[in-house]
Chains A and B, each alone.
Chain A
Amino acid sequence: MRDIAEGLFTDEVSPRLIGGRDRESGRIVFPCPPGDRFEAWPLSREGTLWSFTIQRYRPKTPPYAGPDAFRPWPVGYVELPGETIVEARLTNVDFDAIHIGMPLELTMIALDPNADESVRIHAFQPKGFAA
């Protein structure tokens, strides 16, 4: 699968999100802004859920590039210790089981699970889901 954008994920078996670290203040953000002020900074793959909601209607196109078929998805903010709190979809979890503070780990999912050639986006799943 092709990544939804270049410079967003590291090229590893288990990719990491590429954040940016302010060369002066050390502040870490996501994604890495263009320009010289921030250096690319691969972020931790694990964190805890900071907040969440369920997206229950299909976003308008444009800008949304996902499939016409819509199923609600959870989306939240994940605190990566010592780094930043990133916005991300949640996956492989029952909506009723989602709670603030739950341990999560990064994974990759298809923007359109039914397409042969979908682009790849990031999401977090319960820690140890694959194990």
Chain B
Amino acid sequence: MSGDVCIVGIGIHPFGRTDGVSGLDQGVNAVRHALGDAGIEWGDVQFAYGGSDSAGNPDTMVERLGLTGVQFINVRNGCAAGGSSLFSTQMAIKSGEFEIGMAVGFDKHPRGAFNALPSEYNLPDWYGEAGYMITTQFFANKITRYMHEHGISRTTLGRVAEKAFRNAVHAPHAWRREPVSLEDILNGAMVSDPYSKYMFCSPAEGGVALILASEKKARELGKPLIRLKAAAMRTRPPASFEVFAPCIDIGGGKATATRIASADAFRMAGIGPEDIAVAQLQDTEAGAEVMHMAENGFCADGEQEAWLAEGRTEIGGALPVNTDGGCLACGEPIGASGLRQVYENVVQLRGDGGGRQVPGNPKTAYTHVYGAPGVSAVTILER
């Protein structure tokens, strides 16, 4: 195949809580919007990859969309499910076998924290029985160490959450769309110190579908060419510090799955962090956005303190981050979350962001997800 793989259609079912609508149907809803956006019919879709962590098998949506006999592969890859679906969709088109396909993700999680079981993560039962099998514990421990090493204040964590809710006011697909003051965020009920309840995202519901096509096909469809310049998914390196870690190597915690996924994505795209105009970075908690700014190469460890104080990651700043409020404001339906980031970047690159549009006609956009047990996926789009 010559040229780039392009994103020609996007659809989203609003994130949050939609009682009475299954996760699968939220996915189907997103697919219908994406087909409409691309100006194609379901029968035109040659293949699909679908991800859902706890809302059923994605391929069963053919019953709703039409029994066209389409190739439909399910992806289960934790928080990287969306990134992995997108990567696979891209590779199928790059191979020359297909011209147009779909990556879809949806989920519907029960209220409260994720409740993972040790056996799913190759851990002994006692680890869960004693109360260690909790993602929030890890996230809080990771940021406490990071704040200690790099001089990040709790106010900076609060600023990240404050920005998320402020940006989400202008994102129709977001869940929490009311601004929350920095004071309320800092004084909110504590969940895992230093994080208050406003600094953690919640498991949620939602669906996202993206239609990808070869450049030739994209031109035929007459869509603006949003090029997928890089899609990378990586697992953890040695001595990293990941979710559900009974131990860490001494001196460890520096190398991460994110660092290697990010470096690979920039290599594939042939550009660097300084070339990115807008970024969606995994922010399952406020400190994640802070640490991921550095892990993805956008700043050095510790510089986030000044970046947040100066508003450099605001929509009008040097590098707008999480323009739709990210996971903090949208919640996290695992299967859909990574694709939401890409959806938001396509919106931004098309100039359709409305009240949250990044000024200056952005031409490059970056997404990053991270999750258990140490997986990361990164994409880079160009217009």
Residues of A at the B interface (CB closer than 8 Å) are: 4-5, 8, 19, 27, 29-31, 50-57, 59-60, 62-66, 73, 75-77, 79, 82-87, 89, 95, 100, 111, 119, 121
**Cross-chain pairs A/B with CB under 8 angstroms, 29 sampled:** A4-B129, A29-B246, A31-B246, A50-B248, A51-B148, A54-B190, A55-B134, A57-B191, A59-B113, A59-B115, A59-B131, A59-B133, A59-B134, A60-B112, A60-B113, A60-B115, A62-B117, A63-B128, A64-B131, A64-B133, A75-B131, A77-B141, A77-B248, A84-B248, A85-B247, A85-B248, A85-B249, A86-B246, A119-B129
Q: Does B254 contact A (CB under 8 A)?
A: no
* A62 surroundings in chain B (CB, below 8 A): 115, 117, 128
Q: Mark B114-135, 1 if CB is under 8 A from A, else 0.
A: 0111100000111111111110
Residue pair A50, B145 in contact (C-beta under 8 Å): yes
Residues of B at the A interface (CB closer than 8 Å) are: 112-113, 115-118, 124-134, 137, 140-142, 144-145, 148, 190-194, 245-250, 252
Residue pair B246, A55 in contact (C-beta under 8 Å): no
State the Cβ distance, A44 to closest chain B Cβ, in Å. 12
Residue pair B190, A56 in contact (C-beta under 8 Å): yes
A129 CA to B142 CA in the complex, in Å? Answer: 27
Q: How many A-B residue pairs have CB under 8 A?
A: 114
* A5 surroundings in chain B (CB, below 8 A): 124-126
A59 CA to B127 CA in the complex, in Å? Answer: 12
* A95 surroundings in chain B (CB, below 8 A): 193
Residue pair A31, B145 in contact (C-beta under 8 Å): no
Identity of the chain A residue whose Cβ is nearest the Cβ of B115 in the assembled complex: A60
Residue pair A76, B141 in contact (C-beta under 8 Å): yes
* A111 surroundings in chain B (CB, below 8 A): 129-130
Knowing A5-B124, A5-B126, say if A29 contacts B247 (CB, 8 Å).
Answer: yes
Residue pair B142, A79 in contact (C-beta under 8 Å): no
* B249 surroundings in chain A (CB, below 8 A): 27, 84-85
A63 CA to B191 CA in the complex, in Å? Answer: 19
State the Cβ distance, A76 to closest chain B Cβ, in Å. 6
* B134 surroundings in chain A (CB, below 8 A): 55, 59
In addition to A27-B249, A65-B130, A75-B132, 15 A-B residue pairs with Cβ atoms within 8 Å of each other are: A8-B126, A31-B246, A50-B248, A57-B113, A59-B113, A60-B112, A63-B128, A64-B129, A66-B131, A73-B131, A77-B141, A79-B250, A82-B250, A100-B144, A100-B148
* B129 surroundings in chain A (CB, below 8 A): 4, 63-66, 111, 119
Identity of the chain B residue whose Cβ is nearest the Cβ of A52 in the assembled complex: B144
* A100 surroundings in chain B (CB, below 8 A): 144-145, 148
The listed residue (B118, B144, B148) touching A63 by CB distance below 8 A is B118
* B128 surroundings in chain A (CB, below 8 A): 62-65
* A54 surroundings in chain B (CB, below 8 A): 190, 192-193
Residue pair A30, B247 in contact (C-beta under 8 Å): yes
Identity of the chain A residue whose Cβ is nearest the Cβ of B195 in the assembled complex: A53
A83 CA to B249 CA in the complex, in Å? Answer: 8
The listed residue (A4, A53, A57, A77) touching B193 by CB distance below 8 A is A53
State the Cβ distance, A61 to closest chain B Cβ, in Å. 8
Residue pair B192, A51 in contact (C-beta under 8 Å): no
Identity of the chain A residue whose Cβ is nearest the Cβ of B145 in the assembled complex: A51
Identity of the chain B residue whose Cβ is nearest the Cβ of A80 in the assembled complex: B250
Residue pair A63, B115 in contact (C-beta under 8 Å): yes
A52 CA to B194 CA in the complex, in Å? Answer: 10
A91 CA to B248 CA in the complex, in Å? Answer: 21
* A89 surroundings in chain B (CB, below 8 A): 130-131
* A55 surroundings in chain B (CB, below 8 A): 131, 134, 137, 192
The listed residue (B113, B124, B194, B250) touching A31 by CB distance below 8 A is B124
